[in-house]
Amino acid sequence: MFEDGLQRIAGQFTRREPRLAARAFVAGLLSQAERKTCWQLAEQAGYRQPAPLQRLLRTAAWDAEQVLADVQTLLVERLGDPHGVLIPDETGFVKQGAASVGVQRQYTGTVGRIENSQVAVFLAYAGAGGRALLDRRLYLPEHTWCADTSRRTAAGVPDDIGFATKPRLALDMIDAAVRAGIPAGWVTGDEVYGADPDLRAGVRAHGLGHVLAIGCNRRVAVNDGRTRLRADEVAARLTGGCWQRMSAGVGAKGPRDYDWAQVVIGTGGKEYLLVRRHPHTGELAFYLCWSPRRVPLATLIRVAGSRWAVEECFQSAKNETGLDHYQVRGWTGWHRFTALAMLALAILAICAGTQPAEPADPTRSARSGTPIRLTLPEIRRLLNTLMFTPAPDIEHALHWSAWRRIHQAVARQAHYQRRLSLSAT
């Protein structure tokens, strides 16, 4: 699968050097390197310096969006599902300094607080065969970046890129996925996306159903549109017979069983309020649902449960393919790094998707002594053991040790000189 993935994007590199560098880069992202920076990936690949990989991200002639389109085509061929779910969500990348494109002090769920960080909206895809990241958009804060011409120019932000909210970025990616022919029937997302009427209208215009989380205080129309109530007020009126205990899928700790209720809202018979209740704590969650045709409750629950696929994609992309390890600052470098990291994740996801389905009983394998399916971390370990691990080269290791210490000495001297100049003034 590694060779298939690299062959798929090879045509995007007209020169041999960047084509080989891209191959080395993706292999490095899948390697056991501690940090997936150009320095460590170059050492992993056998280069004498990181310049070839740095050029790949900065100045080499290739289009990251075309590479990502090839990745999407590969995913559709291997994991495509007409009932697939598109899942937008954002993730943060904590940074130091003010030069990284899009960086500012802002809330990021990655650390659960306001930090100096970049935030990007990604679009995940979940189908019967697996899940992976399809697309991404970097969020540019309106005042600190979009309105600052000098800052935009320094970071290489294209002139046609303006401010867009996170739901708008999500809808742009959904629009692009539909144009690209990505097979999907549904969109799901958290409250950030469920609260946006333009996103909901855009999804419906494509004929896609949605199961989008909303807050408990959102008002919905009941009684054929004659009455508007808060979602939690609707839930409070539900009787015991309205609830059904059903699973939202199997998680890392077993089946995710909840109590569910479905209420028809609006006037067309195609819109629903889906209510989820925790069987032990009674905690409620609410989803605004729409479908071009009537669907059973089990379908809405399946879509709602698939939202966690994007969180799993973020975890796998950061832990297994170094999605948050980049040290690039500019617009072009960020988009190139993330495109290659998403290709590496797609390779792992497709390998995992080729396995036979596990039994419905998650405890059966343990009792019978049969191992679980290969996980993405285990697939990466096998790739490294069978394909990527070179014979030890002492001279190469010593060369890189000296190279790093020389550059660290230069950096240290520059810091010292800067401090001395500041203290003198």
The candidate with the shortest Cα–Cα distance to 211, out of 322, 295, 93, 142, is: 295
Band of pLDDT at residue 394, cut at 50, 70 and 90: confident
Q: Which two tokens stand for residue 124?
A: 């995940």
The candidate with the shortest Cα–Cα distance to 119, out of 100, 147, 146, is: 100
Please tell me the distance from the alpha carbon of residue 222 to that of residue 226, in angstroms, as a whole number: 6
The candidate with the shortest Cα–Cα distance to 109, out of 125, 98, 122, is: 122
What single-letter amino acid sits at 195?
A
- Long-range contact pairs involving 46-54 (C-beta distance under 8 Å, separation at least 24): 46/390, 46/393, 46/396, 48/399, 48/403, 49/403, 52/17, 52/20, 52/21, 52/24, 53/21, 53/24, 53/25, 53/28
Residue 30, judged by CB atoms within 10 A of its CB (0-12, 13-18, 19+), counts as buried
The candidate with the shortest Cα–Cα distance to 211, out of 250, 260, 169, is: 260
What local confidence, expressed as pLDDT, does residue 395 receive? 78
Percentage of the chain lying above the pLDDT 70 cut: 92
C-alpha to C-alpha distances, 308 to 53, 80, 404, nearest whole angstrom: 34, 18, 40
Model-level pTM? 0.87
Length of the chain: 425
What local confidence, expressed as pLDDT, does residue 406 receive? 78
Band of pLDDT at residue 424, cut at 50, 70 and 90: low
What local confidence, expressed as pLDDT, does residue 277 receive? 95
CB atoms < 10 A from the CB of 277, how many? 18
The candidate with the shortest Cα–Cα distance to 312, out of 372, 254, 376, is: 376
Mean pLDDT of 20-25: 94
Q: Which helix (H) or strand (E) holds 202?
A: helix 197-205
**Cβ proximity of 275 and 286 under 8 Å:** yes
The candidate with the shortest Cα–Cα distance to 170, out of 141, 152, 192, is: 192
Band of pLDDT at residue 378, cut at 50, 70 and 90: confident
Q: Which two tokens stand for residue 264?
A: 């028809």
The candidate with the shortest Cα–Cα distance to 134, out of 195, 177, 81, is: 177
Please tell me the distance from the alpha carbon of residue 44 to that of residue 397, in angstroms, as a whole number: 10
Band of pLDDT at residue 141, cut at 50, 70 and 90: very high
**Cβ proximity of 43 and 20 under 8 Å:** no
CB atoms < 10 A from the CB of 96, how many? 9
